[in-house]
Chains A and B, each alone.
Chain A
Amino acid sequence: MATVEISNLKKSYGAVAVMHGVDVPIKDGEFVILVGPSGCGKSTLLRMIAGLESVTSGEISIDGRRVNELEPKDRDIAMVFQNYALYPQMTVAQNMGFALELAGRPKAEIKAEVDKAAEILSLTQLLDRKPAQLSGGQRQRVAMGRAIVRHPKVFLFDEPLSNLDAKLRVKMRAEIKALHQRLKSTIVYVTHDQIEAMTMADKIVVMNGGRVEQIGSPLELYDHPNNLFVATFMGSPAMNILPAKVTETGISVAGLTLLPGNPDAPVGTEISYGIRPDDIVIGGEGAVPVEVQVVEPTGAETHITGLLAGIEITIVSKERLSVRPGEILMVGLASTRSHVFEKASGRRIPTEPNF
């Protein structure tokens, strides 16, 4: 168990800079998820922590010790890979005990550690199998077992659930979370799936284009996104972003409706108004017309995609709406949980809703 401190970390391949000064503090025992679209640098960052990629400048320290120059094996970390990376010629038990064997630990101790980890991950029945004889979920558990037996200071997970089917992914998500609660270990976990991030993390680091966009707890990011990128990346379906303007009395959205609000920007400023699909209400006072295009009933809720003055908008309703494509649906866009952003920079504008 340990802290991880990443400060002003930069990475370039030749003249191409891919990471532009990243700072991430990670507390002891924290479950931190790096999330972002592909190419955002999250995997590179994880691989730099692991020591599989060199550091161009900046510092990574684990448990207060600078590790920039250390070999992966000397960093006291363990890593779980997306494609499991199990040794095909070894049994499950040999795979799990391999690191300890390389470290020259006595056989009895290795066996005890492997048995203990197998117990935790319910792999005891499979210890004599070869990886080829296991299912995807079982292989992923073996990969985790291989990490557990080492009692590393930090666990690194690189998109570990991406190769599993949807149902198994939900199950493994719960298993990894339970494992974290049991081991109380520091975990750095990379995923492109914001739902994975929301459901598992203590702390989420949203990355984009080699920069950190925002760091915070899942609900902090969901409720108070710092900018348009975080606002639209976290949450599914994504937050609606509508063109708006600051007026003397409030916010004019899409030229259709005047919402109360007092953004910290001069009157006349063009802004973006963000509202989550489930914060939009059906009907009510000051409702605006949406031309329905697609209706998707999921059972628990209804997703509607439509056009508001030519702009695409998504609405999620708990009710079973019986609207059909082509019909007009009246919706209210006022919400205490809406956000306004600067149009050019995408930065959040502090606002006091006057409701």
Chain B
Amino acid sequence: MSKTRPSLRPSLQGYVLLGPALIVYLLFAVYPMIDVIRMSFSSWNGLSPQAKFVGIANYRAILTQDPVFWGALWNTLIWTSAAVIIPNLIAFGVALALNQNIPGRSGLRIVFYLPVIIASIAVATIWKWMYDPFFGLFNGLLTSWGLTGLIMDWLGDKTVALWSVFVAHVWQSVGFSMVLFLAGLQSVSTTLIEAARIDGAGRWGVFRYVTLPALVPTITVVFVLSLINSLKAFDIVYGMTGGGPAQSTQMLAMWAYTQSMQLGVFGRGAAVSVVLLLITLIVVIPYMRWMFKREDMGR
């Protein structure tokens, strides 16, 4: 016979269970985030034992003297606006189609989701090969179709390089949003659809008054997640172009990395990171507030 042991108070038990995750989070997320702010006000080459406090010199440098920063910021903004709209619209369409009762839909779901589970750097490699000006798939196809006029150096031409990389990103990210949209579509009440049909709504009416309102939370989540994801775009660009040609695919996250890790000017890299952090916070804070408000309102 076992005796009942006095158990921990629920609140204490909660903290004990949270403990390990909290330690990891503080150590690897919060501390670096604070330290990068400190570093952005100092000058350090990554090797010397002492970093020198320089005030806002790093910020002045990246904002006024750095020829790449503004281009990277611009690219990041274009990339983000496109990445929030285009893949998600495609994902929404695919989800709507795969939510229909069509044969082989579970197989198709897997096919569309597959790119998500491939490491970004592998995606970058695959697409780099396909874009290869001499041996790549695209130029090969264009040649065999007789469209030689359209042949390009996809990643080497600075007018199209960013968009070439973007297409790879679309291919990789559609599946993730699609899964979220599918989950949202499953939660649309079938009775509500029937009620709308009886009320006189056609296909469009059902979509407009039942499906879309039910998907508002999903749409918001997808929107914000892809916003955050594209602001920090790094690995796929790094793997395909490394920011080139002529910095035409340079992004803020990658520029921060390049400054710090390759050029050894950690202070400037940190300053670029802080700018990116501020932009992200401007986007995320309203979202978090909205989420908490909704949770409070929820039944």
Contact = CB atoms under 8 A, between A and B. Distances in A.
Interface of A: 50-52, 71-73, 77-79, 81-83, 85, 87-89, 98-99, 102-103, 132, 146
B192 A73 contact: no
B194 A52 contact: yes
A73 B197 contact: yes
Interface string B205-226: 1000110011000000000000
B192 A85 contact: yes
B201 interface: yes
A102 B213 CA distance: 17
Interface of B: 189, 191-192, 194-201, 205, 209-210, 213-214, 299
27 contacts: A51-B198, A52-B197, A52-B198, A72-B194, A72-B197, A73-B197, A73-B199, A73-B200, A73-B201, A77-B198, A79-B194, A81-B194, A83-B189, A83-B191, A85-B189, A85-B191, A85-B192, A85-B194, A87-B192, A87-B196, A87-B213, A88-B213, A89-B213, A98-B209, A99-B200, A102-B199, A146-B199
Contacts of A82: 191
A87 B210 contact: yes
B199 A99 contact: yes
Nearest to B189: A85
A78 B195 CA distance: 9
Nearest to B216: A89
A51 B195 CA distance: 11
3 tightest Cβ-Cβ pairs between the two chains A and B: A85-B195, A99-B199, A73-B200
Contact of B198 (A50, A83, A89): A50
B195 A79 contact: yes
A85 to B, nearest CB: 4
A42 B213 CA distance: 32
A51 B198 CA distance: 8
A348 B162 CA distance: 84
Nearest to B298: A132
B103 to A, nearest CB: 15
Given A85-B191, A87-B213, A102-B205, A132 B197 contact: no
B198 A72 contact: yes
Contacts of A73: 197-201
B199 A98 contact: yes
Contacts of A71: 197
Given A81-B191, A88-B214, 16 more contacts: A72-B197, A73-B197, A73-B198, A77-B198, A81-B194, A83-B189, A85-B191, A85-B192, A85-B194, A88-B213, A89-B213, A99-B198, A102-B201, A103-B200, A132-B299, A146-B199
Contacts of B196: 87
A85 B194 CA distance: 9
Nearest to B201: A102
A87 B200 contact: no
Contacts of B194: 50, 52, 72, 79, 81, 85
A251 B299 CA distance: 62
A52 B192 CA distance: 12
Most buried by A among B189, B191, B195: B195
Contacts of A83: 189, 191
Contact of B209 (A52, A77, A87): A87
A79 B299 contact: no
B288 to A, nearest CB: 23
Contacts of A99: 198-200
